[in-house]
Amino acid sequence: MYLVNWRTTVLASALALTTAAVSAQSSDGGVRPQSGIPSTQMPGALQGVEFEQRLNETLPLDLTFVDEDGREVRLGEYFNRRPVVLAFVYYECPMLCSQVMNGVTSALTALDERVGADFEVVAVSFDPRETPIMAAAKKKSYVDRYNRDGSERGFHFLTGSEASIKALTAAAGFKYAWDEETQQFAHASGFVVATPAGKLSRYFFGIEYAPRDVKFALIESSAGRVGSLVDQVLLYCYHYDPRTGSYSFVAMKAVQLGGAFTLLALVGFVVVAIRREHRVGH
């Protein structure tokens, strides 16, 4: 298992420190002095907050949640057919969760593959106080943002009980904490791509995601059923790095692939030349 990319911790730290600074303002407009925190000590609100990669582990698909229409659903209803983009957010988050979903939607908009046709998007609120009405409002905003016909069938925004939320987030390695001082959740940023069988396949960290990397993750998670033949050939030249949650170019594979194409071209040339000579001889 691999730990979260350092950027996610920095982003979560920035959010927590910013909100703490705002709440520290006194009624007369001044700022109350804050006790110092040693540089080697994690701020209290961020202790235990991380996104731990649990690649190839299976999500508990029998858990029940409530969808944006108020219907009780099994998590497994969104699996079995297509890969799933899974994001943990809460709908009243003042900043970071919206940035995550904005980044996810922007990356998906750049792909030829379509939400609801080639893969599903499932957002799960980790705040058990949130309601289907909040989920419905968020779904509408991102369906409008994605702006492709039929995508409302592929976007799913869920709420649930504390027990279901904790079981799912624990299985995915998503650890968060409630900060009493700011009255907000401290959490990391990113999302997961899972296979149709519910196995955790790829992790993405931060708030901006390269469309190429997301495409490759969907291709791998779908066992090649998503993406064109060209996409799958390109994927051969890239390697997923779990330490960074991204794909890096592998030069040796590219050389091997180039050599294979060169050999095929030479064979094709020889075959054509032999056929031409044969026709001329007759």
pLDDT tens track for 247-258: 665 533 433 433
Whether 33 is in a domain gets the answer: no
For all residues of the chain together, what is the average pLDDT? 78
CA distance 89 to 202: 18
Q: Which of 130, 21, 118 is nearest to 68 (CA)?
A: 130
**What's residue 39's pLDDT?**
39
CATH assignment at residue 180: 3.40.30.10
State yes or no: pLDDT of 33 exceeds 50.
Answer: no
| Residue 151, domain member (yes or no) | yes
Query: Does residue 273 register a pLDDT over 70?
Result: no
In a domain, 96, yes or no: yes
Query: Which of 31-35, 126-130, 191-195, 270-274 shows the lowest per-residue confidence on average (mean pLDDT)?
Result: 31-35
Asked if residue 260 has pLDDT above 50, the reply is: no
Where residue 116 falls (left for φ over 0; alpha for ψ -120 to 50; beta otherwise) is: left
Instruction: Please name the residues in contact with 266: beta carbons below 8 A apart, sequence gap of 6 or more.
Output: none
Report the pLDDT averaged over residues 184-192: 95
Number of domains in the chain: 1
Residues 226, 178: Cα–Cα separation, whole Å: 38
Is 3 contained in some domain? no
For residue 31, tell me if it sits in a domain.
Answer: no
Q: What is the mean pLDDT of residues 218-247?
A: 62
Look at residue 48 in the predicted model and tell me its pLDDT: 79
Write out the residue range of the structural domain in which residue 111 sits.
Answer: 44-225
Q: Residues 267-278: what's their mean pLDDT?
A: 53
CB 29 within 8 A of CB 123: no
Q: Residue 65 pairs with which residues in a beta bridge?
A: 73
Place of tokens 């027990």: 163
- 210: tokens are 């390269």
Task: Express each pLDDT in 41-88 by its tens digit.
Answer: 455 556 679 999 999 999 999 999 999 999 999 999 999 999 999 999
**pLDDT band at residue 104 using 50, 70 and 90 as cut-offs:** very high
**pLDDT of amino acid 279:** 61
Q: 209 pLDDT exceeds 60? A: yes
Phi, psi torsion values for 89, nearest 5 degrees: -145, 175
104 assigned to some structural domain: yes
Residue 161 lies in a domain: yes
pLDDT for 2: 42
Residue 266 lies in a domain: no
pLDDT band for position 275 (cuts 50, 70, 90): low
Average pLDDT over residues 154-162: 98
